[in-house]
Structure 1
Amino acid sequence: MRALVISDTHGLLRPEVLALAREAGAVLHAGDVGQPEVLTALGAATPAPVYAIRGNVDRTPPLSGLPETLLLELGGVWVYLLHDLHALDLSPEAAGIGVVISGHTHAPRLEQRGGVTFLNPGSVGPRRFRLPVACAWLHLHEGQVQAQPVTLLP
């Protein structure tokens, strides 16, 4: 299973992201979608499931109806999505979660803590400050996890 992990589109869906989505077994959006058309276009670009959570800018329907968090089993691994990592209110290791995906900061980050992969793919929406425009691939197979950051614009 290869999942495309994106966040913080803020209403901007770049053609490069749509091209990557076509290659994905799943698309995971870690919030701040910005416009419902982003999810519609992602869904039209790929036959794979598109999972999205609500970010702090997703305040009006239909985006306000997205869940705040999402727990998924992909490739034998439990994956937990939330927008702001500071809002994490559980112990992923104790809960058997292998990957925690967040967004919010627009800064890509990948780290391992206590056997858990923490992934912030960065932002694929409008450039913020001098941060790159980035996303990530998440490879999940038989309980194994490998994250692969992707920089679209340095």
Structure 2
Amino acid sequence: MHVRIGVISDTHGLLRAEAEQRLAGVAHIVHAGDIGRPDVIAGLRRIAPVIAIRGNVDTGQWAERYPDTKMVRLGGRSIYVLHDIHELQLDPVSCGVDVVISGHSHRPRIEIIQGVLYLNPGSAGPRRFNLPVTLAILELTSGGLRPFIHHLGSASID
């Protein structure tokens, strides 16, 4: 078994062509909030099925269809998605969660705590502060979880 999942967050209304290219070939895409505009999700859906949650900038009628958090099962793994890791209200270990995906901070993070992978893909939207523009690919294999952070080029819209 080998499932590739694209993980993106904090697009803030911008779906970069390089992000679309990097996500090509994934089985699913998880958007961890701060989508910005509904056409971002439409663009991602042209690549693969999308699981998305609402972030703090996602307001208005279009955003109401997206939940604040989502528990999903992909590739036999339990994945919990929320926007701000500081709002995590469940214990991933006791709930049997394999991966916690979050966004909000715009800082890429790959960390394993008590056997749970915490993955923040960083921000793939307009560059903010001096933070990198990134997304993640998470490979689910029979041997384990393999997360990768991909830096998107600075030649595009900044």
Deviation at 1:63, TM superposition (A): 1.3
**Distance in 1, Cα, partners of 2:135 & 2:88:** 21
Q: Give 5+ residue unaligned stretches, structure 2.
A: none
Residues 144-153 or 50-59, more deviating: 144-153
Q: Deviations 1:96-126 (Å, cap 9, x if unpaired)?
A: 0000000001011110100000011000000
**8 Å contact 1:76–1:142 — kept in the other structure?**
no
Deviation at 1:143, TM superposition (A): 7.2
The residue identity in structure 2 corresponding to 1:21 is L
The residue identity in structure 2 corresponding to 1:29 is H
**8 Å contact 1:12–1:38 — kept in the other structure?**
yes
Relative distance call for 1:76 and 1:132 in structure 2 (3 A) is: same
Identity %: 49
Relative distance call for 1:68 and 1:143 in structure 2 (3 A) is: farther
**Distance in 1, Cα, partners of 2:128 & 2:107:** 9
What secondary structure sits across from 1:62 in the alignment?
helix
**Distance in 2, Cα, partners of 1:61 & 1:39:** 15
TM-score (ref. length: structure 1):
0.95
Give the aligned partner of residue 93 of structure 2.
Answer: 93
The residue identity in structure 2 corresponding to 1:14 is R
Alignment length, in residue pairs?
152
Give the aligned partner of residue 18 of structure 2.
Answer: 16
**Distance in 1, Cα, partners of 2:103 & 2:150:** 15
Residue 32 of structure 1 is aligned with which of 13, 31, 34?
34
TM-score (ref. length: structure 2):
0.92
The residue identity in structure 2 corresponding to 1:98 is D
**8 Å contact 1:75–1:142 — kept in the other structure?**
no
**Distance in 2, Cα, partners of 1:55 & 1:25:** 23
The residue identity in structure 2 corresponding to 1:81 is V
User: Aligned runs of 1:132-143 on 2, under 5 Å?
Assistant: 132-142=132-142
Q: Deviations 1:8-36 (Å, cap 9, x if unpaired)?
A: 00000000111123211100000000000
**Distance in 2, Cα, partners of 1:73 & 1:143:** 17
What secondary structure sits across from 1:39 in the alignment?
helix
Deviation at 1:94, TM superposition (A): 0.6
Deviation at 1:75, TM superposition (A): 1.0
**8 Å contact 2:18–2:153 — kept in the other structure?**
no
What secondary structure sits across from 2:146 in the alignment?
strand
**Distance in 2, Cα, partners of 1:17 & 1:104:** 18
Give the aligned partner of residue 61 of structure 2.
Answer: 61
Relative distance call for 1:55 and 1:143 in structure 2 (3 A) is: farther
Give the aligned partner of residue 51 of structure 1.
Answer: 51
